[in-house]
């Protein structure tokens, strides 16, 4: 997988967000640095971390130690709601830990349960100050997206939510698109039965694994996906999904797993 081959989503700030990213949740210490290096070596050009993951320094170290130029890697981090009163300083700490001057995407990790609009204004201000190229949210409903946009005039660029074939919701996907919001899915395998006969049959038809079918399904829908692993072989296999595509019928069958 090369950077030029990768499908991307255009963001308002002018960036191109690779649809296939590398997630780092629950990976810390040397294992995180090694996994991120393996991901970059495998061709990933999108890294996803968060303040609450406590691994931004390790992600940054792997990025600095790699031969991949910073401008070729899309970096996302997230703010936990309990840090809402110190959003700017938290982002500055993230930038320092990551060893970058700007993240490509900064997300509200989930709703504060209180004044999300006030926090969103802080995010927009940080974007305008050049600390983040684009800003978005995670785990927000369509109504919550509208609340932010109506109050500030700025719609989140991305909404990262849990997403998998069993969770497929055409209305949610279309609702994000109508708003110009890029849908990003996390935990693609946690909610998926990789032994499902439909996935097994489609995988056999393409000579790939069922995990690769799930990842390709995301890409064929234009949904960003961030699988994670600490095993170099699996990291490489997860990256190797650009050499095939699902037919419309196959994609529909995978969509149907949400109803089965």
**pLDDT score for 186:** 97
Beta strands per DSSP E along the chain: 8-10, 16-18, 22-23, 46-48, 74-79, 103-108, 132-138, 158-162, 182-186, 224-225
Residues sharing a CB contact under 8 Å with residue 29, sequence separation 6 or more, in sequence order: 55, 58
Residue 1 pLDDT level (bands cut at 50, 70, 90):
low
**pLDDT score for 114:** 86
Residue 5 pLDDT level (bands cut at 50, 70, 90):
confident
Which domains does the chain show, CATH number per domain? 3-190+222-230 (3.20.20.100)
Task: Indicate whether this model's pTM tops 0.85.
Answer: yes
The yes-or-no verdict on residue 105 having pLDDT over 90 is: yes
pLDDT digits (tens, 9 = 90+) for 65-97: 999 999 999 999 999 999 999 999 999 999 999
Active site residue 53: yes
pLDDT digits (tens, 9 = 90+) for 208-252: 999 999 999 999 999 999 999 999 999 999 999 999 999 999 999
79 touches 109 (CB < 8 A): yes
| Residue whose C-alpha is closest to residue 50's, from 21, 70, 72 | 21
pLDDT digits (tens, 9 = 90+) for 144-176: 999 999 999 999 999 999 999 999 999 999 999
Tell me what the pLDDT averaged over the chain comes to.
96
Question: Which one of 17, 35, 50, 53 is the catalytic residue?
Answer: 53
DSSP percent split of the chain into helix, strand, coil, nearest 5: 50, 15, 35
Rounded CA separation 111/101 (Å): 26
The yes-or-no verdict on residue 200 having pLDDT over 80 is: yes
């Amino acid at each position: 997988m090369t950077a030029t081959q990768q499908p991307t989503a255009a963001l308002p700030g002018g960036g191109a967000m690779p649809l296939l990213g590398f997630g780092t949740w629950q990976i810390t210490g040397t294992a995180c640095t090694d996994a991120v290096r393996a991901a970059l070596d495998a061709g990933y050009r999108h890294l996803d971390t968060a303040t609450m993951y406590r691994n931004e320094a390790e992600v940054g170290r792997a990025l600095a130690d790699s031969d991949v130029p910073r401008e070729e890697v899309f970096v996302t981090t997230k703010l936990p709601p309990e840090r809402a009163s110190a959003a700017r300083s938290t982002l500055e700490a993230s930038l320092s830990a990551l060893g970058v001057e700007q993240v490509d995407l900064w997300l509200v990790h989930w709703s504060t349960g209180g004044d999300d609009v006030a926090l969103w204004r802080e995010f927009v201000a940080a974007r305008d100050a050049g600390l983040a190229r684009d800003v978005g949210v995670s785990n927000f409903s369509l109504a919550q997206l509208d609340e932010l946009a109506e109050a500030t005039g700025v719609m989140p660029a991305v909404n990262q939510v849990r997403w998998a074939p069993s969770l497929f919701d055409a209305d949610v996907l279309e609702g994000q698109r109508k708003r110009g919001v890029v849908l990003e899915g996390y935990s693609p395998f946690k909610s998926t039965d990789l032994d499902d006969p439909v996935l097994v049959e489609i995988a056999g038809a393409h000579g790939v694994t069922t995990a690769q079918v799930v990842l390709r399904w995301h890409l064929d829908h234009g949904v960003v996906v961030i699988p994670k692993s600490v095993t170099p072989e699996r990291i490489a296999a997860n990256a190797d999904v650009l050499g095939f595509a699902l037919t419309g019928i196959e994609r529909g069958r995978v969509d149907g797993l949400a109803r089965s």
